Amino acid sequence: MRKFLAIAVVAALVLGALGGVAAAQDKVIKLGTLYPLTGPCATAGQRCKAAVMTAVEVINNAHPDLDVPLAAQEGVMDGYKFELVHADTQGKPNVGKSEAERLFNQEGVWAILGSYNSAVTKPASFVAERKGKIFMCGCSSSAALTERNFKHFFRIAPTDKTESHEFVTFMDWVNEKYDADIETVGLIYENTEFGKHAAEEGKAAADEAGYEVVADVAFSPGATTMDSEVQSLKAADPDVVFGACLGGDYTLWVRTMKKMNWLPKMSLNYCTGYQDPMIAKQLGDDGNYFMGGTGYSPQFADLMPAVAAVEEIYKEITEPSVPFDSDSIKEAAAMFVLAQAIEKAGELDHDKVAKTLHSNTWEAPLTLSGEVAFVPGGQNELAMSYLTQLQGGDYKIIYPPEVANAELVYPMVPWEER
């Protein structure tokens, strides 16, 4: 009898424990991340992955010292915790699509965050839309992504269209303030979904504002030489160049211009290698006086006071330890917005959460505007970036004037005078 009782007690304990585990497991929301963890964009992809991990660490655990949404509590919806399942797209659209399918079908993720490359985000988010599940995009910038009228796709970043209009507005301002005589524009871009769209938007904005586009130069990403591309720019000699060159291509472009001893009066870059503080560091003096749209830089600390404490967690996760950059911080912001929407919706119905995302304005201290609001199609209508110029290796805010913390250096200082 005693033996029977002992077995019964042990069985009850085991069943109780299993029940507890089951209950704990029930309170898990699995999310997939889809980034290029290998391949030419691996560094950026690894940072985006670390940014989402940072956000999940803050949301899942109590961090009352942080001034970001959901930090003080543990999880969402009274104890639900997020669990991340990471996948590698290798920067390839077909891999991205099949990994999105695997994340939904095999891993049973509730939503996907990703996927850096616009060309990959397109088919991967198509999979999510077909399944009626949510795809949160942090930093892919092709305007086409939010022109598909998808119901479950949301994007935090400003699009190339937004940035192009910002560029020409800035050029008008420079012409007025500095009597700069800017008349012509040259385009240089990687021949991909991102680069091609950026160039099209840049050309349209320049035409509309009355600037003449005198050079349209595409290159293959990962090129080993850009001599002929820079030669084409030099021959056309535009006043301003719009650049859409990612990572190592940006470095090569800048160094080739130095080799050929040519610079435009001003260089404005989309969310590209320009924004990467590591690349700016590698270029040293050569990187100075280039400009571009910037969503975040550690030098923005005064404007985004909530970031620093979150960034400390991010720095612990990244290897080597780096601060947020413009792309990775948007992925973290995407995670915070998604978590807030789930919390507000109060249930895990995809349509309800999507509707909640559309019908509210979200607190987003990791973005420049501090808030996020989505229009039909999923674009964040409050997305913005500041125009910065690299001066002495620092990203100085030049425009808009009300937040500027440095004076524009115009025209760019020639190579021989540096």
Partner 1 sequence: MNLARKDYLLAAVFGIFALLPLIPGVLPSSFTQHVFLLIFLYASMSQSWNVLGGYCGQVSFGHSVFFGIGAYGAGMAVVHFQTLPWPGVIVGAFAAAAVAMVISYPVFKLTGHYFAIATFAIVEIFNRLFMVWDWVGGALGLDYGLTDTGIANFVWYESKVPYYYGALGLMVIVFSTVRWIERNRLGYLLRAVREGQDASESLGVNSTWTKLTAMGVSAFLAALCGAFYAQYNFRVDPPMVMSLDVSMKFVLITLLGGTGTLWGPLLGAAVLIPLQEYTRAMFGGLGGGLDLIIFGLLIILVVVKQPRGIMGILEDLTRGRKSRKQSEKGGA
Q: Identify the residue whose tokens are 């992925």.
A: 331
Two structure tokens written together for 231: 């030669």
Looking at the Cβ atoms of 39 and 411, the one nearer to partner 1 is 39
Verify binding: residue 93, partner 1, rule CB under 8 A. Answer: yes
Q: Which helix (H) or strand (E) holds 167?
A: helix 160-178
Q: What Cα–Cα distance (Å) separates residue 59 from each residue in 63, 64, 151?
A: 8, 11, 25
Q: Write down the least CB distance from residue 42 to partner 1, Å.
A: 7
Verify binding: residue 92, partner 1, rule CB under 8 A. Answer: yes
Verify binding: residue 86, partner 1, rule CB under 8 A. Answer: yes
Q: What Cα–Cα distance (Å) separates residue 17 from each residue in 4, 82, 89?
A: 20, 22, 38
d(CA 56, CA 141): 23
Q: Write down the least CB distance from residue 345 to partner 1, Å.
A: 25
Verify binding: residue 95, partner 1, rule CB under 8 A. Answer: yes
d(CA 220, CA 186): 17
Q: What Cα–Cα distance (Å) separates residue 206 from each residue in 68, 167, 211, 212, 332?
A: 38, 9, 5, 7, 32
Verify binding: residue 87, partner 1, rule CB under 8 A. Answer: yes
Verify binding: residue 229, partner 1, rule CB under 8 A. Answer: no
Question: Which one among 204, 218, 236, 406 touches partner 1, defined by CB under 8 A?
Answer: 218
Verify binding: residue 121, partner 1, rule CB under 8 A. Answer: no
Nearest to 124 by CA among 92, 166, 77, 83: 92
Verify binding: residue 317, partner 1, rule CB under 8 A. Answer: no
- Which of helix, strand or coil describes residue 347? coil
Binding mask 27-46 for partner 1 (x = CB under 8 A): ------x---xx---x--xx
Looking at the Cβ atoms of 86 and 203, the one nearer to partner 1 is 86
Q: Write down the least CB distance from residue 282 to partner 1, Å.
A: 21
| In 235-328, beta strands by DSSP E | 240-244, 266-269, 291-294
CB-CB contact of 367 with 156 (8 Å): yes
Q: What are phi and psi of 134, to 5 degrees?
A: -85, 140
d(CA 387, CA 275): 11
Applying CB under 8 A, the span of 10-18, 83-91, 256-264, 335-343 interacting with partner 1 comes to: 83-91
Torsion angle in degrees (nearest 10) through CA of 223, 245, 138, 196: -90
Verify binding: residue 195, partner 1, rule CB under 8 A. Answer: yes
- Tell me the chain's radius of gyration from C-alpha atoms: 23
Q: Write down the least CB distance from residue 342 to partner 1, Å.
A: 22
Q: Write down the least CB distance from residue 93 to partner 1, Å.
A: 6
Question: Which one among 60, 88, 139, 365 touches partner 1, defined by CB under 8 A?
Answer: 88
Verify binding: residue 49, partner 1, rule CB under 8 A. Answer: yes
Q: Write down the least CB distance from residue 238 to partner 1, Å.
A: 21
Verify binding: residue 204, partner 1, rule CB under 8 A. Answer: no
Question: Which one among 191, 299, 360, 369 touches partner 1, defined by CB under 8 A?
Answer: 191
Identify residues 125-144 at the interface with partner 1 (CB under 8 A). Answer: 126, 130-131
Two structure tokens written together for 377: 């199609």
Verify binding: residue 225, partner 1, rule CB under 8 A. Answer: no
d(CA 243, CA 129): 32
CB-CB contact of 207 with 213 (8 Å): yes
- Partners of 190 in the β-ladder: 219
Looking at the Cβ atoms of 123 and 400, the one nearer to partner 1 is 123
Nearest to 218 by CA among 238, 236, 240, 243: 243
Binding mask 149-188 for partner 1 (x = CB under 8 A): ----------------------------------------
Verify binding: residue 325, partner 1, rule CB under 8 A. Answer: no
Q: Write down the least CB distance from residue 101 to partner 1, Å.
A: 7
Question: Which one among 98, 175, 232, 391 touches partner 1, defined by CB under 8 A?
Answer: 98
Residues that bind partner 1 (CB under 8 A): 33, 37-38, 42, 45-46, 49, 85-88, 92-95, 97-99, 101-102, 105-106, 119, 122-123, 126, 130-131, 191-193, 195-197, 218, 220
